[in-house]
Amino acid sequence: MSFQSLNLIDPLLRTLASLGYDTPTPIQKQAIPAVLAGRDLMAAAQTGTGKTAGFALPLLQRLTLAGAVGPLGVRCLVLVPTRELAEQVYDSFRRYGANVPLRSFVAYGGVPIEPQVNKLRKGLDVLVATPGRLLDLHRQGALTFDQLETLVLDEADRMLDLGFAPELDAVLAAVPATRQTLLFSATFSDTIRALAQKLLRDPLSLQASPANAAAKTVRQLVYTTDKKAKPELLVHLARQHGWGQVLVFAKTKKGVDQLVGMLQDEGFTAEAIHGDRPQPARLQALNRFKGQQVQILVATDVAARGLDIQALPLVVNMDLPTVAEDYVHRIGRTGRAGSSGEAISLVAADEVELLRAIETVIRQVLPRVEEPGFEASHRVPSTGTAPVVKPPATGPAKKAARPAVPKPRVPDNAPRPAGGFEKAPMAPPAPARKPRKPAPPGAAPKTYGPQPGAKAGARAKAKR
């Protein structure tokens, strides 16, 4: 099947051809005709399968054929949970709509609101926004929803996970009841299904891939080691295997900053993305990484669903996520659009239950690797029948692995006690202490420490 067979208009087909898009993905084959027909949609597809194009292309076509928007109006509203995802979706609408006369924009918090207010005055065909900033703009009178035709909730499960339920309720109360509503997400919990029943009218349900499935194009490995050895192991692997660009996920903001500092000290170009960094700094770090000016980008889960990097070869989990489903979104940053990728997780003994939960979600037991010199002192318990594989073949290491401490060799003819255990040699006995000489008769008993009048005597002596 080709994009021509999906009844897309010529300007969109020319854009797709210029972008090198030849064959629609499974989610695009199902979603594009449904959205063009005006159906409400509930679509589940794993990240990296092209679901953004699945709703952006048909919506651009409908908006192009339906006329123009008036001042302060918005015809298509796309709600997303994070700033990074907002930028990614907005960029997709701009690229796909390069040959159609539509206005689109993106709005999120963490940046000044005045430029966003000014952009909305003439009205927009497409607005991609996070819930909080959208409500700020609406309450200030910068936009109205009277002209809204389509509402898209992208990564709706993540919006609820991040605590956006009150904001979602406020948005849904403000938009027109008569509209087209599209729910796109990688996962659908019972809560999301309940939300869909409330929002959607006779929706078409699509499942383009098994729920919480990891992409088959991603090779997944687990390196078992001790927690304190993880940073050193990361540096060792990067040098040993000659890694190019790497996206590393850490659990905490502090952990991200500490890891970036260590990597920079080791001579790597590294940047950080997390919620405490200003939005301009986060965008600059991402753009530098996309422009291959930065080798290692370290991020918290805030970036897991919002990073779209072409041909990213490798994702590393420095820490396993506490929510097993987030693992799928992390490794979904590589192996996108049919390309191959690799996902490596550094796992310590205290993370075994997190690993077990991840393997339950993705329905497979991940193969394990032990890197020579970095074996775990505290063994990572087994979670199933995962094969232990040899470390990938590489060239000569730039940094030698930590040498193993040799065990003392006992001569074969040495006497051994019953049971076969060597007895440690006994320490030589301590020399006997000499007896004290008895004090002469009538002598005062010997005392220790400062005595009464000692300070006064010392002062008198000092005056002499």
Does pLDDT of 434 surpass 90? no
Q: What is the CATH number of the domain that holds 229?
A: 3.40.50.300
Q: Residues 312, 174: one domain?
A: no
Rg (CA), the chain: 32
In a domain? residue 403: no
- Residues 247 and 177 both lie in one domain: no
- Number of compact structural domains in the chain: 2
Q: At what angle do helices 51-66 and 83-96 cross, to 10 degrees?
A: 50
Asked if the structure places residue 462 within a domain, the reply is: no
Q: Are residues 44 and 169 in the same domain?
A: yes
Q: Which domain range does residue 131 map to?
A: 4-207
> Are 318 and 297 within one domain?
yes
Give 263-282 pLDDT, tens digit per residue.
Answer: 999 999 999 988 788 878 88
Q: Considering 173, 207, 241, which residue would you say is the last residue of a domain?
A: 207
Q: Dump pLDDT digits (tens) for 141-183.
A: 999 999 999 999 998 877 877 788 899 999 999 999 999 999 9
148 and 240, same domain (yes or no): no
Note whether residue 152 is domain-resident.
Answer: yes
In a domain, 425, yes or no: no
Whether 434 is covered by a domain: the verdict is: no
Residues 145 and 263 in one domain: no
| Cross-sheet strand order for the sheet of 150-154 | 104-107, 124-129, 74-79, 150-154, 180-185, 41-44, 204-207
Q: Hey, what are 270's tokens?
A: 């590294």
19 vs 100: which has the higher pLDDT: 100
User: Which of 327-341, 349-363, 382-396, 403-417 shows the lowest per-residue confidence on average (mean pLDDT)?
Assistant: 403-417
**433 vs 33 pLDDT, higher one:** 33
Residue 423 lies in a domain: no
Tell me, what's the pLDDT at 340? 80
Q: Beta-carbon neighbour count of residue 201 at 10 Å?
A: 11
pLDDT at 392: 61
Q: How many CB atoms lie within 10 A of CB 203?
A: 18
Q: Is residue 411 part of a domain?
A: no
199 lies in some domain? yes
Of 207, 232, 266, which one is at a domain's C-terminal end? 207
Residues 243, 162 share a domain: no
Pair (195, 101) in one structural domain: yes
Q: Are residues 202 and 243 in the same domain?
A: no
Q: How confident is the model at residue 2 (pLDDT cuts 50, 70, 90)?
A: confident
Are 230 and 337 in a shared domain? yes
* Among candidate residues 357, 389, 421, the one where a domain is terminated: 389
Q: 366 and 301, same structural domain?
A: yes
Please report, rounded to a whole number, the percentage of residues in the chain having pLDDT higher than 70: 77
Does residue 180 share a domain with residue 40? Answer: yes
pTM above 0.85, yes or no: no
**Model pLDDT, residue 176:** 94
CB 85 within 8 A of CB 119: no
SS (H, E, C) 208-234: CCCCCCCCCCEEEEEEECCHHHHHHHH
Which of 8-17, 211-220, 347-356 shows the lowest per-residue confidence on average (mean pLDDT)?
Answer: 211-220
Q: What is the mean pLDDT of residues 188-213?
A: 78
Predicted confidence at residue 400, as pLDDT, reads 41
Backbone φ, ψ for residue 313 (5° rounding): -85, -25
**63-77, 79-93, 402-416: which range is least confident on average?**
402-416
- Mean pLDDT of all residues in the chain? 81
Least confidently predicted of 55-64, 85-94, 208-217: 208-217
Order of strands across the sheet that contains 218-224: 270-273, 296-299, 246-249, 314-317, 341-347, 218-224, 368-369, 388-389
